[in-house]
Structure 1
Amino acid sequence: MLALENQLCFAIVTAARNVVSIYRPILEPLGLTHPQYLVMLALWESSPRSLGEIAEELAFDPATASPLVKRLEAQGLVRRSRRSDDERRLDIDLTDAGRALRDQALSVPMQVMERVGMTPSEVASLRGALKPFSGRLDKFA
C-alpha cells in the first residue's frame, strides 16, 4: 500500500507539474504564464470582478492573486480600480487588449488536447474524476 506508485497524491502532483509544462509553450506566444492564464479565464467569464472573487474562484489566496493581477496590469491586459462605494474592494476589469487576447486564446484547449492525445470527452471525464480534489481546501476542514 505504501509504494510510491500506489499513491494518489504522487500521481496528482506529478500530473499537475506536467500539465503546467504542457501549457507553457502554448501560452508563451500569448505572453501569459499558467497562473496568469487562469486569471484571464476567470475574467473572460465575468468582468469586472473583485480580487477576492478571482482568488476564491481559482482557489488562490488573495496574496497569490494580487501579484498576478499586477503583472497583467503592467502588460496592459487588465486595470485595477477601487470602488467608489467601497474603497476596500479592488475591482479588476479587462482592457481592450485583454478582451482581444481571448480570441487568440481560443485555440489553447485544442492545442493541449492535441499534445496529450485526448478528446474533449476524455478531458471532461478526467476533469470530472478530479472534482473531489478541486477547489478550496477549507471544504475539508
Structure 2
Amino acid sequence: MKEVWGDSIRVIGFVRDPENYLSQGTVHVFPSQWEGSAKVTYEAAACALPQITTREAGDVVRNGIEGIIVKPGDVNAIAAALEHLYGHPEIVEQMGTAARRRVVENFTWDHFRGRLLDAYETAMRMR
C-alpha cells in the first residue's frame, strides 16, 4: 500500500494520547481477527472517523453506516473499501458524523456505568 498511497498511510503503535493521532486521520482501518470489543474503535468513532474493520472488533461500527465491515484477513476487501472511501469524500463525512453520534449516544463511560450497575442489580436480585 505504501507504493500506492505514499505517506498518506501511517501505522501507529501504542500511544498515550490516541486522539492526537486519530484527529489527523480521515479513515481508521482496524482489520482485527480476534477482538471482543476494541477500545480503539470507540476512540476512532469519538474522533468522527469512519472505520474499515471486522465483526471481531465489536459493535461500534455498523456496515454502511459508521464504516465498512470486511471479513477477517481479506486484504482485497480492505483495499477496495479504502479505494471506495477515497473516491467518495461525502460518504467519509457522513460515516464520520454517524460514528461520532453513535459513540456519544451509546458508548460513553456513563452508558457503561449504567449498564454495569443494571447487571449488578440483576445479579443481586437472582441471589
Quick check: TM above 0.5? no
TM-score (ref. length: structure 1)? 0.26
TM-score, normalising length: structure 2 = 0.28
